[in-house]
Amino acid sequence: MHRFDGFYVIFFLVFIVFLCATYVIVFDKIPEYKQEINQLKYDLREEKEYSAGLEGMVIGLSTLLESYRVSSEHIVELTAYTARPEETNWDYTNTAIMQEPIPGWTVAVSQDLKYLLGKRVYIEGFGVRYVNDLMNVRYTKRVDILVGDLGKARKIGLQKDITMVLIEPVEAIKEIIKGEF
C-alpha cells in the first residue's frame, strides 16, 4: 500500500459524508420549498386576477368618459348679447328659467341645445358659463353669451367653430363612479 492510498480513502469517506449531509439538508427542505413555490404561484395568480379586474375597470371608465366627452362636446357658433329689450323677448329681466341674467355668467343656447339649461359649460376662449337662457328658434348650434354693454357684444361678433363642453357630470356617471369607488 502506498502512503497516499490512506489519504484517498479518507478523502473519499469525507466526500461521501459531505454528499450524504448535503442530500439530507437539501431533500429535507424540499417540502418547504415546494410549499413556498406553491404560495408564490397562488399569490401571483391572485395578483393577476386583481390586475385584470383593475384593467377592466380602467377600460370601462375610459370608455365611459370618452362617450361622455363625445356626447357633451359641441362645436357651435358664438355671439354675444346684452339684456336690452331690443335684443331679448318682452321679459328682459328674467332668463328662460326665471333667473336674473348676469353679464359674464349667463349664456343663452339655441333650442336644439336646450337640454343644457341649468347646467355649467366651458366655452373655448370664454371659460365657464351658466346656461339659463334660450335663443330664438331660428338659430341652431349657437351660443349667445350675455355681456354688460353693446361695445363688448360687437367686439365679440360672430365666431364660428367654438368648442363648448358640458362640465357637469350626467347623473348616471355620478352613480357609476360612486358605486365603483
96 in a structural domain: yes
91 in a structural domain: yes
The strand pair at 106-109 and 127-134 is best described as parallel
Question: What CATH number does the domain containing 117 carry?
Answer: 2.40.40.10
Which burial class, exposed, middle or buried, applies to 145 when counting CB atoms under 10 A from its CB (0-12, 13-18, 19+)? buried
Cβ(87)–Cβ(148) below 8 Å: no
The DSSP 8-state label assigned to residue 168 in this structure reads S
pLDDT for the residue 79: 93
pLDDT for the residue 175: 53
Print the domain residue range for 79.
Answer: 74-173
pLDDT for the residue 52: 73
Classified as helix, coil or strand, 165 is strand
Rg value, the chain, Cα: 38
Which three three-digit cell numbers place residue 55?
Answer: 384593467
In tens digits, what is the pLDDT along the chain, a chain of 181 residues? 556 566 677 777 777 777 777 766 666 667 777 788 778 888 788 787 777 777 777 777 777 666 666 567 889 999 998 887 777 777 677 777 788 888 889 999 999 998 888 888 889 999 888 999 898 899 999 999 999 899 999 999 999 999 998 887 555 455 555 555 4
Which three three-digit cell numbers place residue 130?
Answer: 351658466
167 in a structural domain: yes
132 in a structural domain: yes
Q: Is the dihedral of CA 103, 109, 113, 114 positive or negative?
A: positive
Domain total of the chain: 1
181 in a structural domain: no
At residue 40, what is the residue type?
Answer: L
